[in-house]
């Protein structure tokens, strides 16, 4: 087995569902697309998207000697989403779970393969074009809903990567399999896609419920959010490539008690200490009690108006 094969075999045995490797060279076209997207205002007021641009442009600004990016994906699908809390947020925080596995993979390379290498692991929060490198590494194609989709595993995949100064064998990108389908574009309740493959965060429910920091939603978006509390999965739920997706092997992603059908009427009276207790290790922690309450109250208001 080559070193590349040993690394990939280990990644799969650690619980990743897909793994591919690509050169760490800058992806100029993707970075230009990213800049265009920012200039159009499609990142809304997500502050971290405007920072550390040199790192997004060239991963050498993260790890000077970087040669390769090992891209890993992990299926997080647990059940059809209830449209209130998005699938990704039902269990433990994916950042911690994937990061731990990436660190184990780096240790394997250093200790068991005795490689004298540098590594830097990221899951979501690094200023790196994650979907672009994952697509270069052959993990899947970028769908019209902007998600990375794998032909066998669908798009409910979290992405994480290891930057390393080791040179490895590289994978090739795969073909686009969206074809003439437009299911995601048609199903988006807020028309958040100005065109296929472009998402305007200022219209996306995921942005409003997760990233927007204001105390109340602007009047014109309140209703559009409907009964969503955390994120939104609609443009993935309708994708035919997710119709046969298997449930994740990672049990820590499975829904916690109450998450399948959250008792909003009781949740709205949650105290700080209830919040800390209920959402320990959960991605909902990031919303803080204030953000969760804003979302719950809006969802309840919309539910009541809908019933009238």
Q: Which residues bind ligand SF4 (CB under 6 A)?
A: 143-145, 178, 181-184, 188, 190, 192, 199, 204-206, 232, 234-235, 238-241
SS3 149: strand
β-strand 141-142 against 18-23: which pairing, if any?
unpaired
CB of 262 to ligand B12, least distance (A): 15
CB of 94 to ligand B12, least distance (A): 7
Candidate list 25, 33, 222, 293; residue touching ligand B12; CB under 6 A: 33
What's the token pair of residue 223?
């209703």
Q: Which does 72 bind (CB under 5 to 8 A by kind): ligand B12, ligand SF4, none?
A: none
List, as one string, the DSSP characters of 50-118. GS-HHHHH-GGGTSTT--EEEEEEEE---S---SSB-GGGSSS-HHHHHHHHHHHHHHIIIIIS-----
Which residues are registered as beta bridge partners of 71?
A: 20, 161
* Residue 17 designated active-site: no
Question: Is 85 one of the binding residues for ligand B12 (CB under 6 A)?
Answer: no
SS3 132: helix
SS3 20: strand
Question: Is 157 one of the binding residues for ligand B12 (CB under 6 A)?
Answer: yes
Q: Which does 162 bind (CB under 5 to 8 A by kind): ligand SF4, ligand B12, none?
A: none
**Maximum CA extent, the chain:** 67
Candidate list 46, 185, 247, 270; residue touching ligand B12; CB under 6 A: 46
Residues 204-233 that bind ligand B12 (CB under 6 A): 204, 206-207, 210-211, 231-233
Q: Which does 123 bind (CB under 5 to 8 A by kind): ligand B12, ligand SF4, none?
A: ligand B12
Distance between alpha carbon 40 and the CA centroid of its chain, in Å? 22
CB of 15 to ligand B12, least distance (A): 15
Residue in 124, 186, 258, 274 annotated catalytic: 124
d(CA 45, CA 50): 9
DSSP assignment letter at 275: H
Q: Quick one: 120 or 144, whose CB is closer to ligand SF4?
A: 144
Angle at alpha carbon of residue 291, lines to 285 and 294, rounded to 5°: 140
Candidate list 57, 130, 237, 250; residue touching ligand B12; CB under 6 A: 130
Binding pattern for the stretch 49-78 against ligand B12, x by CB under 6 A and - elsewhere: x-----------------------------
d(CA 88, CA 18): 17
Q: Quick one: 69 or 239, whose CB is closer to ligand SF4?
A: 239
Candidate list 69, 159, 162, 296; residue touching ligand B12; CB under 6 A: 159
Q: Quick one: 24 or 188, whose CB is closer to ligand SF4?
A: 188
> Do 7 and 109 meet the contact criterion of CB atoms below 8 Å apart?
yes
**Which residues neighbour 180 within 8 Å (Cβ) at sequence distance 6 or greater?**
none
Q: Which does 178 bind (CB under 5 to 8 A by kind): ligand B12, ligand SF4, none?
A: ligand SF4
């Amino acid at each position: 087995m080559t070193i590349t094969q040993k690394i990939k075999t280990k990644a799969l045995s650690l619980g990743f569902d897909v793994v591919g490797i690509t050169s760490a060279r800058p992806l100029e076209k993707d970075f230009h697309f990213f800049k265009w997207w920012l200039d159009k205002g499609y990142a809304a007021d997500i502050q971290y998207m405007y920072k550390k641009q040199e790192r997004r442009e060239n991963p050498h600004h993260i790890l000077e000697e970087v040669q390769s990016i090992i891209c890993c994906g992990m299926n997080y699908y647990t059940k059809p989403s209830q449209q209130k809390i998005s699938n990704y947020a039902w269990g433990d925080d994916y950042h911690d779970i994937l990061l731990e596995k990436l660190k184990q993979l780096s240790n394997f390379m250093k200790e068991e393969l005795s490689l004298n290498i540098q590594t830097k692991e990221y899951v979501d929060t690094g200023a790196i074009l994650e979907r672009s490198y994952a697509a270069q590494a052959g993990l899947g194609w970028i769908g019209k809903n902007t998600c990375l989709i794998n032909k066998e595993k669908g798009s409910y995949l979290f992405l994480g990567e290891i930057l390393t100064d080791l040179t490895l064998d590289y994978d090739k990108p795969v073909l686009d399999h969206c074809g003439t389908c437009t299911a995601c574009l048609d199903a988006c309740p807020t028309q958040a896609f100005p065109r296929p493959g472009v998402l305007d965060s200022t219209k996306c429910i995921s942005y409003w419920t997760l990233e927007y920091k204001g105390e109340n939603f602007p009047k014109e978006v309140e209703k559009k959010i409907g009964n969503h509390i955390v994120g939104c999965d609609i443009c993935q739920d309708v994708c035919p490539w997710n119709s046969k997706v298997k449930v994740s092997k990672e049990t820590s992603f499975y829904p916690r008690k109450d998450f399948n059908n959250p008792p909003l009427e009781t949740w709205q009276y949650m105290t700080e200490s209830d919040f800390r207790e209920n959402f320990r290790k959960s991605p909902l922690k990031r919303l803080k009690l204030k953000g969760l309450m804003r979302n719950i109250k809006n969802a309840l208001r919309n539910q009541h108006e809908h019933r009238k």
